Amino acid sequence: MLEITPDHIAELADDDLRTLIGRLCEAELSRHNLPVSAVTWGGDHRAPDGGLDVRVVLPAGSALTDFVPRPNTGFQLKREDMPRSAILAEMRPSNLLRPIISQLADAAGAYVIISSQGSTSDSALRNRRAAMAEAVASLPNAANLVLEFYDRTRIASWVRQHPGLIPWVREKIRRPLRGWHSYGPWAYQPEGTSAEFLLDDTPRVQTGQKDDRDGLSTLGGIARIRDVLREPGKVVRLIGLSGVGKTRLVQALFDSRIGERALNPALALYTDMSDDPDPQPIGMVSDLLAGDARGIVVVDNCAPDLHPEYDIREDEPEGTEVFDLLPSSEELVERLIKRRFPDLSAIDARTAAEFSGGNARIAIALAATVGSHETLSGLADRELFQRLFQQRHEHDAGLLQAAQACALVYSFEGETLAGEDAELPRLAALISAEPAALFRAVSELLRRDLVQRRGVWRAVLPHAIANRLAAAALQDIPFTAIEAQLINGLPRAF
């Protein structure tokens, strides 16, 4: 399941190998509470680099880590194998020792050659270290310099110490773990992990504890969740309406720019249950336990049947802490809209924020409907909702009716078209439609991000949209039909 092998390392391209070593160095420093800003790498791998691809520069006396042997350590990366002749040519081009290696010796540092193709036996490893020592023998302070050689087997071992990086490596070599991802822009891909996380002082995080009666600010909630997740075996459940920013907040837990003592991103293993991950989260956790590896497993859109012991009730299980994320302030949503849509007028950004009721997903969807010569100003709530629902499409009465029928239930099985337990036929009967037609309508609603999917299950979301649609359905659909299809004679509770 959570597997990484030397052969996987050998398949990495030059740029990906350099990024991996850089991220591994960051992970090592983060694990020891050292500043990850001490790691530098980047640029074109073909550009002159002075003999180093990745550099770690920490204050003298900093704690040492396993694969970063000195506070001042330089890594030179090669995709080819590196026998003695190649090592001497790398360290002494034209038989002159690279100046950067002399500088590392002056700083009592370390110089590490990494070969992603090499796979060395113990004797071959000794020979490569001997060649490295030969290359620096002319230095008067050569004894101050630590020399190391890492082949693909040792790099694979290094990655296994930081299991959150395994999905990243597997994705780069096109052998992904289905549905599993390393730390990244889980909430919104186009912005990447460098996007600013917007904060305000509004109490948005409820803990249920007496001391937190007024709630915590977002930053306070992040700090509290981080404290819980630093302890092995602890579980956090983050709840809140769809679209209020739960995924983005969890992403922020691993962002060192936000607050203090961010969680190590190399521990993060993320999945969205709607992606049907393999292994399932329980299998992933079991795999981590079997390998005695530390990880922070993030399960998005987690259905109640995956963790029934986490149901929100009076007797919350010991060890599980529940945090309730409330909607954002309108001011915060307006700032988000202005950042996401810089060409949108201030009044349109404010209108979208006010209509959203603090739900960022609704505000973003509404703002996206505004063309270059259009405005939301002066539109009534009903007109704004129509814009949100239609999303630049023509009015479709059938699609609206389908959404209204589906909004009457919390969720529904959205793939089975016939049979005693099928739910689409019951919902379709409410609007005198065929099950196949309703299936197509739900697919379109999925594309418009007005329905969410978890495996075979579907739900009209966010709740603010579902509630408005359900209210209209109760007016437009006879109660006798609702009673016949959704209340009487059901094979199971909706």
**Tokens standing for residue 198:** 């917007």
Decide if domain 397-486 falls under CATH 3.50.50.60: no
State the first-to-last Cα distance of the chain, in angstroms, to the nearest integer: 35
Higher-confidence position of 188 and 303: 188
- How far apart are the C-alpha atoms of 313 and 237, rounded to whole Å? 13
| Average pLDDT score over the chain | 89
**Cβ neighbours of 96 (radius 10 Å):** 8
DSSP structure class, residue 151: -
The answer to whether the CB of 443 falls within 8 A of the CB of 453 is: no
Which of 11-25, 60-74, 204-218 has maximum average pLDDT? 11-25
**Cβ neighbours of 42 (radius 10 Å):** 11
DSSP structure class, residue 430: H
pLDDT in the model for residue 191: 79
Nearest to 100 by CA among 57, 58, 66, 67: 57
**Buried b or exposed e, range 322-350, using 16+ CB within 10 angstroms:** bbbbbbbbbebbbbbbbebbeebeeebbb
- Percent of the chain surpassing pLDDT 90: 66
Q: Is 336 left (phi over 0), alpha (psi -120 to 50) or beta?
A: alpha
The tens digit of pLDDT for each residue in 136-182 reads: 999 999 999 999 999 999 999 999 999 999 999 999 999 999 999 99
pLDDT in the model for residue 314: 40
Domain ranges of the chain: 6-163, 180-191+200-325, 330-390, 397-486
